[in-house]
């Protein structure tokens, strides 16, 4: 099964979408770097302000994506993304539009959750029984702190979700082919079979999606789909912090529960 299909929005951006989630009433998208107006290292659909891009270009890129997906900007909620493991349930949009100190959000409401990525693993977790959606930003620090397990716990504790009912979708991220790390990073990881291989000279190739999938399985999540796409292997389509030496744009994972947000 193909986890994502590509969709060129009428406003220009090229995004990845999930038919399996759409079929279940969830409007989930992951932007590529194509179809925006940003230039230089941010070419072209950079979604984040903090990376050094021109603010007016980021505004235009965001407008194209939200308009193209039929999403009301007044309903969008982000999280601060501090590479921690805090996951917060939100039912109302905070005034500033984002939640401080969080790397994951959970909702049952008519909000659109958004998070930004350039190599870290985007994870959507959906409970079709209780109608709960989570969006998680899992870099190596968040993965070491088992942030996806925290998200499942918040879904259980706040909304009564059963992990066995839940399905998880993992988007494009850096993968074992491209992610060489020091032993210190491996020591921080939960013990996972085939989560990494030795690269020699005391270094390793880390498979972040595989580690997150193992943590999700451990948490009892029923269905896990990984798209298998590597951001660092394909910098013509994706931004990669690692492959582009730290100066690059960000892609956005965007998810809305219910069909109201679908175009």
Is 177 an interacting residue with respect to Zn ion (CB under 5 A)?
Answer: yes
Q: What's the first-to-final CA gap in the chain, in angstroms?
A: 24
**Please, what sign has the CA dihedral across residues 148, 143, 248, 237?**
negative
Is 14 an interacting residue with respect to Zn ion (CB under 5 A)?
Answer: no
DSSP 175-230: -TTT-EEEHHHHHHS---TTSEEEEETTEEEE-HHHHHHHHHHHTT-SEEEE---B
Cα–Cα distance, 124 to 148 (Å, whole number): 9
In the bound complex, what is the minimum distance in angstroms from residue 44's beta carbon to Zn ion? 22
Nearer to Zn ion, 158 or 237 (CB): 237
Which one of 54-62, 136-144, 147-155, 229-237 is the stretch in contact with Zn ion (CB under 5 A)? 229-237
In the bound complex, what is the minimum distance in angstroms from residue 231's beta carbon to Zn ion? 8
Q: CA–CA distance from 93 to each of 77, 107, 235 (Å)? A: 6, 11, 33
CA 175 to chain centre: 14
Which one of 40-48, 70-78, 182-190, 227-235 is the stretch in contact with Zn ion (CB under 5 A)? 227-235
In the bound complex, what is the minimum distance in angstroms from residue 119's beta carbon to Zn ion? 10
Which one of 39-47, 85-93, 160-168, 172-180 is the stretch in contact with Zn ion (CB under 5 A)? 172-180
CA angle 43, 101, 219 (to 5 degrees): 95
Q: Can you read off the two tokens belonging to residue 135?
A: 């969006």
Is 197 an interacting residue with respect to Zn ion (CB under 5 A)?
Answer: no
In the bound complex, what is the minimum distance in angstroms from residue 242's beta carbon to Zn ion? 9
x/- mask, Zn ion, residues 128-167, rule CB under 5 A, reads ----------------------------------------
CA 1 to chain centre: 20
Nearer to Zn ion, 157 or 177 (CB): 177
Nearer to Zn ion, 85 or 212 (CB): 212
> What is the contact surface with Zn ion in residues (CB under 5 A)?
175, 177-178, 230, 232-233
């Amino acid at each position: 099964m193909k986890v994502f299909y590509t969709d060129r929005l009428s406003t220009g951006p090229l995004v990845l979408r999930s038919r399996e989630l759409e079929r279940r009433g969830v409007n989930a998208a992951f932007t590529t770097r194509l179809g925006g107006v940003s230039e230089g290292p941010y070419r072209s659909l950079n979604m984040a302000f903090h990376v050094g891009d021109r603010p007016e270009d980021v505004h235009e890129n965001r407008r194209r994506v939200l308009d193209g997906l039929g999403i009301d900007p007044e309903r969008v909620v982000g999280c601060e993304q501090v590479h921690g493991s805090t996951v917060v349930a939100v039912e109302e949009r905070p005034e500033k539009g984002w939640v401080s100190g969080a790397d994951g959000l959970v909702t049952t409401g008519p909000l659109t959750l958004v998070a930004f990525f350039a190599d870290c693993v985007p994870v959507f977790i959906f409970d079709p029984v209780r109608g709960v959606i989570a969006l998680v930003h899992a870099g190596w620090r968040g993965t070491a702190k088992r942030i996806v397990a925290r998200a499942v716990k918040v879904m259980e504790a706040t909304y009564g979700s059963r992990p066995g009912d839940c399905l998880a979708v993992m988007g494009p991220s850096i993968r074992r082919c491209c992610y060489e790390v020091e032993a210190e990073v491996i020591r921080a990881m939960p013990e996972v079979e085939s989560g990494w291989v030795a690269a020699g000279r005391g270094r390793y190739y880390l498979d972040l999606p595989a580690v997150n999938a193992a943590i999700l399985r451990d948490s009892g999540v029923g269905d896990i789909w990984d798209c298998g796409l590597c951001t660092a292997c394909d910098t013509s389509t994706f931004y990669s912090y690692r492959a582009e030496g730290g100066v690059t744009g960000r892609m956005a994972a965007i998810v809305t529960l219910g069909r109201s947000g679908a175009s």
